[in-house]
Structure 1
Amino acid sequence: MTKRVLFVCLGNICRSPTAEAVTRVLAEGTDVAFDSAGTSDWHVGEPPYGAMQAAARPHGYDMSGLRARQFTRGDFADFDLIVAMDPANLSEIEALRPAGDDTPVVLFTDYAPETGADHVPDPYYTRDFDQTIELVEACARGLLSRL
């Protein structure tokens, strides 16, 4: 049975689509499916942020086919693991948790404690797209080692 993992950030145009694209590449050949969403509805239907896509391409990650969507309460039933990019996103996700649901919700950086990061900074604001890719790669490797 395929394990399903959902990555969640705020707008679903930088961090979570990067996590989805990177982890898909690193998990190639495994029985794991990935998706991403945002806690806000600001960018629903839009592709990932152009600068994020441009930074990811040289690393071998193509996000051009992804489109932003908003996280919903139904995602708890549809996914085996929900991975938040920062504590604020984690709180927003938990606020939608249906009563009695036990789907794990974790911070992505929990899978890469060696980085010392407690969240994935938003490159939309920091403008450090390469740093985001490097941190996401480390977290993705850690996640895949535990699936």
Structure 2
Amino acid sequence: MTSSILFVCLGNICRSPLVAAVARQRFADAGLSVAVDSCGTGGWHVGQGADPRSIRVAEEAGYSLRDHRVRQLAADDFSRFDAILAMDDDNLALLREHSPVDDKDRVSLFLDAAGLDPYVPPIVPDPYYEDLDAFRHVLKLAEQGVDGLIVRLRRGESLAAASRSAAR
């Protein structure tokens, strides 16, 4: 049973904190007790808040990101979380490179783990260099993906092992 999930992107200012905010609220609304956190594989923004555009689209949709503080992936994250879900292939590769051999099956792409349509590209695109609509698109993917995770969690399925990214 999955009781903790870590969402991972590059800088932990746009995608992963937005997905984590959506997950916290929707898991609670669904009555699921799942600890949620986010981090980045890079350390450029450690200690800072989320990107103001992420905060804006989160608040427009009723989620809170004001208290978010950036943190970088730590070695003990691999033992602390049941599932570690990357936003894209580059971060997935970094996670797999740093994960202990016996933990690699718990690391996958977020949208793969969500069980979304296999014809949809399973990455959450980085909106950092884009406009506000790109951040809204990330929010939409976050909501769809978290809803998929809720379905899988209610079924008692493993989030990482059954994903397409396990074969990548």
Same fold (TM over 0.5): yes
Number of the residue aligned with 2:141: 135
Name the aligned partner's letter for residue 21 of structure 1. Answer: A
State percent identity of aligned pairs: 43
Identify which of 118, 121, 124 aligns with 1:120. Answer: 124
- Matched-pair contact (CA < 8 Å) for 2:18–2:142: yes
Task: State the Cα RMSD in Å.
Answer: 1.7
| Secondary structure in structure 1 of the residue aligned to 2:66 | coil
Name the aligned partner's letter for residue 53 of structure 1. Answer: I
Per-residue Cα deviation, 1:29-70 (whole angstroms, up to 9, x for no partner)? 321110000000011011100111011101011111111100
Number of the residue aligned with 1:72: 74
Instruction: Out of 116-125 and 87-96, give the one that drifted further.
Output: 116-125
Summarize the Cα distance change of 1:98–1:2 in structure 2 as closer, same or farther, 3 Å threshold.
closer
Q: Distance in 2 between matches of 1:118 and 1:102?
A: 18
Q: Distance in 2 between matches of 1:76 and 1:21?
A: 21
- Matched-pair contact (CA < 8 Å) for 1:80–1:103: no
Count of matched residue positions in the alignment of Structure 1 and Structure 2 = 147
What are structure 2's unaligned runs of at least 5 residues?
154-168
Number of the residue aligned with 1:100: 102
What are structure 1's unaligned runs of at least 5 residues?
none
Number of the residue aligned with 1:51: 53
Using the size of structure 2 for normalisation, the TM-score is 0.82
Using the size of structure 1 for normalisation, the TM-score is 0.93
